[in-house]
């Protein structure tokens, strides 16, 4: 059903030829080299299903299912599989978080948390809401692009209200890669949820053939801003095995981000262009032709370490750049 909605939406948006690559399998997937864990998720897993890479944030894998399947998915090792990386025991997760007062927010992810029933999400919250040092509960989801009808479920109102009454903020992190994915239905649901106190952020992935165009991304971020969704991350595509053909050259990525910024007003320029790398979230910066980055790896390692590497023409990822 969600595939039908998405197909109709991208066709009526006028961007079918670009957006079909989000969901349509391609022969290139068999030839794309890479890794299935580009960001060191396995190494940062502290109890089954919970990653603790950044001191303040826990990333909780609640399901291995999504409403559809993005061909560029960075969690190909999990999504659509019966993965043993999904949290089996939320009491154990809560016990870990309870012992880590530095963790102030948890991101429910997977997979897409909104494929779970609201009753199931409520049960997960039973474990998380009593933790006093948690300030916000985030939900990472592409459901507003694939199936906004999911948010017609009236029991969600009570779920978000519970989060509010527990003194925490509910944040939905949408995943719109392209203005053609932002349907009238999605806009309506977002406005209604905002009126219930839910905050919204958006993350996008820079994708060859889909959105490697400053005009498109600026229009996407401007639309997000208009409907009350703060553009948050623009991810450099990761070298995922079976999906690295979606990567855009770093040189082009920097040109695109400059082009986006030229088209947005100051209050719309809230996105960060980052690589979600093993070392943290390096942000390709200025001073071309060197690539400057700030490592944000936390936990046992130093944060905010500024480093640079010389640019090489074919580079799409930090590891493609030589040290020195």
Q: Which residues bind ligand SF4 (CB under 6 A)?
A: 66, 69-70, 73, 75, 79, 111-112, 142, 175
In the chain, what are the helix, strand and coil shares in percent, each to the nearest 5?
A: 35, 20, 45
Integer angstrom CA distances of residue 249 from 71, 78, 136, 168, 256: 19, 26, 35, 40, 10
Q: What is the closest distance, in whole angstroms, from the C-beta atom of residue 111 to ligand SF4 in the complex? A: 6
Tokens, residue 139: 């939900």
- Give the residue with the Cβ less far from ligand SF4, 60 or 321: 60
Q: What is the closest distance, in whole angstroms, from the C-beta atom of residue 263 to ligand SF4 in the complex? A: 26
- Give the residue with the Cβ less far from ligand SF4, 25 or 130: 25
Q: What is the closest distance, in whole angstroms, from the C-beta atom of residue 285 to ligand SF4 in the complex? A: 26
- Give the residue with the Cβ less far from ligand SF4, 68 or 257: 68
Q: What is the closest distance, in whole angstroms, from the C-beta atom of residue 189 to ligand SF4 in the complex? A: 17
- Give the residue with the Cβ less far from ligand SF4, 75 or 245: 75
- Give the residue with the Cβ less far from ligand SF4, 69 or 307: 69
Q: Are 210 and 22 in contact (CB under 8 A)?
A: yes
Q: What is the closest distance, in whole angstroms, from the C-beta atom of residue 261 to ligand SF4 in the complex? A: 25
Q: What is the largest CA-CA distance in the chain?
A: 56
Gap between the Cα atoms of 196 and 202, Å rounded: 18
Q: Are 247 and 239 in contact (CB under 8 A)?
A: yes
Q: How many CB atoms lie within 10 A of CB 262?
A: 10
């Amino acid at each position: 059903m969600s595939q039908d909605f998405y197909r109709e939406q991208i066709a009526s948006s006028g961007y079918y030829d670009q957006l079909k690559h989000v969901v349509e399998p391609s022969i290139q997937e068999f030839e794309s080299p890479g890794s299935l864990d580009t960001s060191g998720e396995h190494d940062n897993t502290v109890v089954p299903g919970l990653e603790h890479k950044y001191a303040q944030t826990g990333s909780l894998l609640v399901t291995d299912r999504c409403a559809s399947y993005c061909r560029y998915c960075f969690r190909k090792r999990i999504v659509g599989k019966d993965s043993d990386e999904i949290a089996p025991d939320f009491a154990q997760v809560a016990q870990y978080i309870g012992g880590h007062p530095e963790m102030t927010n948890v991101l429910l992810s997977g997979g897409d948390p909104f494929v779970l029933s609201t009753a199931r999400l409520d049960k997960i919250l039973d474990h998380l809401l009593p933790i006093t040092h948690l300030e916000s509960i985030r939900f990472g989801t592409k459901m507003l692009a694939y199936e906004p009808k999911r948010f017609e479920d009236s029991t969600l109102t009570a779920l978000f209200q519970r989060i509010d009454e527990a003194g925490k903020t509910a944040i939905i992190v949408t995943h719109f890669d392209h203005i053609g994915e932002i349907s009238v239905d999605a806009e309506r649901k977002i406005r209604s949820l905002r009126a219930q106190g839910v905050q919204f952020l958006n993350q996008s992935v820079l994708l060859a053939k889909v959105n490697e165009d400053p005009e498109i991304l600026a229009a996407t971020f401007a639309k997000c801003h208009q409907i009350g969704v703060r553009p948050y991350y623009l991810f450099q595509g990761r070298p995922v095995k079976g999906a690295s053909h979606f990567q855009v050259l770093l040189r082009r990525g920097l040109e695109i981000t400059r082009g986006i910024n030229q088209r947005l007003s100051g209050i719309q320029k809230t996105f960060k262009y980052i690589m979600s790398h093993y070392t943290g979230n390096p942000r390709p910066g200025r001073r071309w032709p060197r690539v400057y980055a700030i490592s944000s790896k936390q936990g046992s390692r130093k944060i905010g370490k500024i480093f640079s590497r010389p640019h090489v023409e074919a580079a799409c990822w930090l590891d493609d750049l030589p040290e020195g």
